[in-house]
Amino acid sequence: MDVKEEDNEDHENGQKHIAAQMMLGADGVMPSTSHQFQIQQQLQEQVSTPGGGAWRSRPLEEKERTKLRERHRRAITARILAGLRKHGNYNLRVRADINDVIAALAREAGWVVLPDGTTFPSRSQGSRPAGDSSAGLTSSSSQMLSQQVPPTSLQGVSSGYCASVEYNACHMKGVFMPTPAPYDLSSSGHSQSSGMVGNGGEQTESLPLIAGSMEVINEQIIGLPPKLPERDFAGTPYVPVYVMLPLGVVNMKCELVDPDGLLKQLRVLKSINVDGVMIDCWWGIVEADAPQEYNWNGYRRLFKMVHELKLKLQVVMSFHECGGNVGDDVCIPLPHWVAEIGRSNPDIFFTDREGRRNTECLSWGIDKERVLRGRTAVEVYFDFMRSFRVEFNEFFEDGIISMVEVGLGPCGELRYPSCPVKHGWRYPGIGEFQCYDQYMLKSLMKAAEMRGHSFWARGPDNVGSYSSHPHETGFFCDEGDYDGYYGRFFLNWYSQLLINHGDLVLSLAKLAFEGSCIAAKLPGIHWWYKTSSHAAELTAGFYNPCNRDGYIAIAAMLHKHGAALNFARAELQFLEQREDLQEALANPQGLVWQVLNAAWETCITVVSENAFVCHDRVGYNKILENVKPVNDPDGRHFSSFTYLRLTPLLMERQNFMEFERFVKRMHGEAVLYLQV
């Protein structure tokens, strides 16, 4: 019985699909009335002939596949409807389909949806022509028409990058290419053509502006209404855009992985005027086997490739291990010889209250301790940076290397490794203090004795665990010990150690890279920001409770060395509505503006990168609004933006065209059809 029902429904759907195609014609235009009658007569003859329909002669296996596909589709639809009823309070009928969902969404947006499926903005009811042929289109026929034109997410993007490089979507089949309007403001200088690209044929000329006139087709033929307007960034300051290369672009033998494939991707990036790329230079790769034996081979080959394409480089001195954090897809440990030292002296690593070691980076307690085969940690960092500067001197001289970001802690960020997933931390846990190796405890003892309270030479014991919440602890709760005499002493010492580490390493970086721009990366720890203690920031080393500004001192330290601030959360302030952030009493916007104000008050350069993967226009708009704030009275903006990261997903045609549009707006170029 089920099989018969499925077959009948599939048969009806097939008839409707064939009828719609025949009614539309090959060129997507409605035929005349007499021609429609002939088509209907042919269709009736086809489906009424005994044994003549193709659907009757299908093999049993194909029918079974059709059943499975239909059941899968219905299961997905059921889950969508259940979610809308439960979380969106949509009053949908029991046997609702996707048309009901679209209609409900349109009504919620204030649109008018007629019983026949005709949809239009409520403000245009009086002006809608009574004889409009497009008004009578059903939802299914409108859907068929919409499939013949590119989606609206591709609007306003030029396609010059297809002219000179291979690309997986350059050969389009069955897509009408209209001539761009004369008022097109695209900066692309490539020739553009129109016409039909036939099936199996290849277009020999560069692709035209895909959506400049396609949107006119969308709105005139399909009757699509205008969408929400976007801010126009034409004429705004030019902000360079860099793209992070994959973490494992250079392997553990310091060899460039897939140079041919990377070269093609870099050419594609260059074709849309991306300014450059960012690359991690891993300490664990370059100085892997023995102290002061550096292997830069893979990086040299990569830098030459970038230089030949006339791109610029942002380089990260990565003194931490890769693997175990969000987004890490490769494993790059610290150098082998450092790991050997750590096995005999584990106190070179950060240690929590339970004695668990974190091998992600070296403890700041050994910044001035000669425990690394006769060298201190900062001497090791300096020797590495000096070797890099000498090895790639010509790239500095030619201005190819535009910025050197100095890794100052886990993930390259200036912070303690207070939230390690491998030790049980889960968001939105407050984390734990990382000051229990013998070298940091010695520093704490010295500070307590200088204060005259030697019994303060200990860490707090009422701070909970990694995944605790502030109100569950005696130290971080409202009016907790964090604001007592001992708490203020301990937090001041703990945070000052962080500032001293950054100060020391950046002073040597400034010496090694004299005349070049250096930068330090700061995280955006926004959870528990609305509490009095700001517990998650405290364990990370930022002494920033509600009655104290913990970022001014960091900004002043960066200003001292002329270092830029890389605040790695370009879209944080737009995440307020997420339910998990509300439960964690987070305030991304408050954190963003506190850090930015501290930076701009001290007149330091601010650069940024996105924290989350972004491929859609809404996400890009959020980044743009933060990079170029519209309401800043002094017209301040970020000096550069680095996109996270070059992946195969970014190179997919639709995603890449949206990214090209984003780059143009970052550069302050005019982009037509600013609609989401």
Output the domain CATH number for residue 594.
3.20.20.80
- DSSP reduced 3-state for 366: helix
Average pLDDT over residues 110-136: 54
- Convert the pLDDT of each residue in 279-333 to its tens digit: 999 999 999 999 999 999 999 999 999 999 999 999 999 999 998 776 677 899 9
Instruction: Classify residue 192: in a domain, yes or no.
Output: no
Question: Computed from CA positions of residues 393, 395, 397, 399, in that sequence, does the dihedral angle turn out positive or negative?
Answer: negative
Alpha-carbon Rg for the chain, nearest whole angstrom, is 30
- DSSP reduced 3-state for 383: helix
Backbone angles phi, psi at 35, to 5 degrees: -70, -35
Residue written as token pair 């997420």: 578
Question: Computed from CA positions of residues 11, 17, 23, 26, in that sequence, does the dihedral angle turn out positive or negative?
Answer: negative
Q: pTM for the whole thing?
A: 0.68
What positions carry a catalytic annotation? Answer: 413, 609
Instruction: Classify residue 82: in a domain, yes or no.
Output: no
Neighbour tally for 169: CB within 10 Å: 14
- Convert the pLDDT of each residue in 629-642 to its tens digit: 888 888 899 999 99
Number of domains in the chain: 1
Instruction: Classify residue 347: in a domain, yes or no.
Output: yes
* pLDDT confidence of residue 403: 98
* pLDDT confidence of residue 612: 83
Is the pLDDT reported for residue 554 higher than 70? yes
More confident residue, 238 or 219: 238
Enter the tokens of residue 418: 């207070």
Instruction: Classify residue 70: in a domain, yes or no.
Output: no
Question: Computed from CA positions of residues 10, 13, 19, 22, in that sequence, does the dihedral angle turn out positive or negative?
Answer: negative
Average pLDDT over residues 224-243: 81
Instruction: Classify residue 471: in a domain, yes or no.
Output: yes
Contact yes or no for 188/160 (Cβ under 8 A): yes
What is the separation, in whole angstroms, between the first and last Cα of the chain? 46
Instruction: Classify residue 179: in a domain, yes or no.
Output: no
**CA separation for the pair 458, 448 (Å, rounded):** 9
DSSP one-letter code for 484:
S
Task: Write the DSSP string, 38-89.
Answer: HHHHHHHHHHHSTTTSTTTS--HHHHHHHHHHHHHHHHHHHHHHHHHHHHH-
Q: What share of the chain is helix, strand, coil (3-state, %, to 5)?
A: 45, 10, 45
Residue written as token pair 């998990």: 580
Of the pLDDT bands very low, low, confident and very high (cuts 50, 70, 90), residue 117 is confident
Contact yes or no for 304/394 (Cβ under 8 A): no
**CA separation for the pair 530, 545 (Å, rounded):** 10
**CA separation for the pair 211, 227 (Å, rounded):** 15
Backbone angles phi, psi at 656, to 5 degrees: -70, -35
Task: Residue 590: give the domain boundaries.
Answer: 241-667
Contact yes or no for 641/608 (Cβ under 8 A): yes
Q: Could you tell me what percent of the chain has a pLDDT over 90?
A: 58
Instruction: Classify residue 105: in a domain, yes or no.
Output: no
CA distances from 527 to 303, 428, 462, 540 (A): 39, 7, 20, 12
Instruction: Classify residue 44: in a domain, yes or no.
Output: no
Enter the tokens of residue 275: 């300014």
